[in-house]
Amino acid sequence: MDIDQASTFLVGSILVGMGFIILAAAATVINIIFSKYWHPVNLGSILPKALSQTGRFATEEEMARVAPQFDKKPVDLSKNK
């Protein structure tokens, strides 16, 4: 490898590295723009209801049936000393 080939390889490597850095910066900027202005896509009219549900999966009746139960006996805190 003579000096011309080595300098061409060095310059090419530097330019490829700078190209990757520019592509990464552009992808980051595009991602920031999308995340700032993108609104969720509602696929409820296309997908079945079971696949497009969000939030809680329990109904109000199920939540009432599984109401928390507390013990009514008093707790002796003097044992914690």
Of 81 and 6, the one with more pLDDT: 6
| pLDDT at res. 12 | 97
What's the DSSP call for residue 13?
H
Whether the CB-CB separation of 58 and 67 falls below 8 Å is answered with no
Tell me what pLDDT residue 29 has: 93
**What integer pLDDT is reported at residue 56 of this predicted model?**
63
Q: Where are the domains of the chain?
A: 1-40
Identify the residue with better confidence: 35 or 8: 8
> 54 vs 71, which has greater pLDDT?
71
The pLDDT tens digits for 21-69 are 999 999 999 988 888 877 766 666 666 666 656 666 777 888 788 867 7
Q: What angle do CA 33, 36, 42 make, to 5 degrees?
A: 110
